[in-house]
Every structure is written in C-alpha cells, then in structure tokens.
Amino acid sequence: MTGPDFVVDNVDNPPVTTRFAPSPTGLLHRGHAFSAMMGWRLARASGGRFVLRIEDIDTARCRPEHEAAIFDDLAWLGLDWDGPVWRQSERSTAYAQALERLIVMGVAYPCFCTRADIAAAASAPHGPDGPLYPGTCRNLDAATRAARLAREAPAWRLDVGAALARTGPLRWQDRAQGWQPADPQRLGDIVIARRDVGTAYALAVVVDDAAQGITDVVRGEDLFDATHAQRLLQALLGLPTPRYHHHRLIRGSDGKRLAKRLPQETLSAWRVAGQSPADLIASLNLLANDALWPPD
C-alpha cells in the first residue's frame, strides 16, 4: 500500500493554524459566527493561518446554495481565510487510505447493523448521546462476516478495545479544562466509514486536520466528547494532535442551543433585518480575550 497523502511533518512550535469547517446542510446561525470569529481571531492575533473547509460528505443533505451562503456570511462578518477552500467531497482517496490502514491494523471491523437493530439491543450501554453500539458485528465469526460482505456494503466501526490495547493511555489538551485523559470508550465503537459515502466525520476530521496543519481546533463544547475518539484515531494513524478550545454554546432566548432549522437565528436573517456585524458581535458578547490561547 502506498503512503497516505495526509501525513504532515510534526514540528516543534509550528505557527498557529485554525480552521472553520461548516457543513452546507443549511444556513449558518449565530453559533457558527461565534466559532468562526474565535478561530479567526486566534489565528490573526498570533500571525498564523485561518483556513476554510467545507464538510460536505453528507451528499444527501448538502446543497450548493448553502455553500454559497457560507461564503456570503463570512464576507459579511469580514472574515478572510488563507489558501484554497477544501471540500471533503474531494478527499475520498485520503479517507480510503486511512481506513485501509486501520483495517490492516486489525482495529476496524465491518458493521451491518441498522439504527433500529442498535436501539433494539437490550444490552446496549448508554453514552452521552444515547445508546452505544453493543458490539454485535465485532463478534461475528469469519464465515458469517465474509458471507455478508459478499452480498452487502457495510459501515466500518473502530474496535476501541483493540485500538487502546495498541496505543496505550493517551491524553489531549483543552484550553478551559486542561489536559484530559483520553476516554474513547465513552462513545463505544464509533462509525468511521458510512456505507453510503465511505467515511464518517470522526475519521475525515482527523485526516483533514493533519493535512491542513491545524494546530488549534476552535469549536463548540458539544463536540467535547467526540475529541476522545478523535485522539485515539490520531494515535493510530500517527497524526499530530491539535490543542482544543471547546467554547460555550450560543443559545436562543428560550435557552436551547441554536440550530439551522431556526430561520430567525440565521446570519442571513440578521442581514435582511438590517443588522450589522457589530450588532451581532455585541449580541454574542464576544470579548477580546475569548479567542486567545493562554500562555504556557
């Protein structure tokens, strides 16, 4: 197997590089603006780079008009980026190479279960977001697995137990909470490749963060738990681990987290209403030091 195209040199103290990586499945809202501005300010304050990645692997939901709206929203906010825009839909070869490496290592297995199968499993443990995968297909015998592979396309899952046995203890750094011992078991055997698109968010994001030289990941605290599994994938693939800044979520007047399905919260709605970027920033109470990494 030829070497993957996503491996980058791990140098001491590289320049700060952050990214904004929205999915074009709807219009951006104030929460997206908060995250984008914090990442942009961290990069610019340190003389580093801010890159834009379009996470469009969910081909059933992504729309060209939503991608165009992302560019319009960032221009309205006054945010620029360095280098060309990356699109995950153009990165399938890199993801396939990463998946192949994990399969060869013996830490990935095909899964034929549906969501209904998982929900119906009485023994399924629960994690932060609901039932964890109970390991049904991890325990298939070789003959059954081969027979099913011959007639249907599987998803692929990470065998977290086997992976941890290979890597040993890991940790990662969060700006607000400090060093965290990696605990990928809290999410169970996650999907690393969907049967319809050949990859999944967890795998694609670590491959792309490494390929773009991301040193600091700025994103919402709702992705805090996902970082544990991503740290494991980084170790397995020999990829560098960024620092993480999981910021507070921006919530609506009802106290609930914002969602793309709320048209009144979109940035385009703010523009149509005659609001300015300064009005938006004031509404977010974005303080200057929110986006600055603290000194060591």
Question: Among all residues, which ones are annotated catalytic?
Answer: 260
DSSP code for 257: B
Closest-CA residue to 38 (of 210, 220, 256):
220
Would you tell me the crossing angle of helices 201-211 and 224-237 to the nearest 10 degrees?
60
Please give the helix or strand (H or E) that residue 247 lies within, else none. Answer: strand 243-247
* Residues facing residue 126 across a β-bridge: 131
What is the length of the chain? 296
Closest-CA residue to 256 (of 29, 23, 20):
29
The amino acid at residue 50 is: F
Distance CA 88, CA 201 (A): 10
Question: Residue-wise over 7-32: b if at least 16 C-beta within 10 A, else e?
Answer: beeeeeeeebbbbbbbbbebbbbbbb
Task: Quickly count: other Cβ atoms within 10 Å of residue 69's Cβ.
Answer: 19
Q: Angle at Cα 111 formed by Cα 242 and Cα 90, nearest 5°?
A: 50
Distance CA 239, CA 210 (A): 6
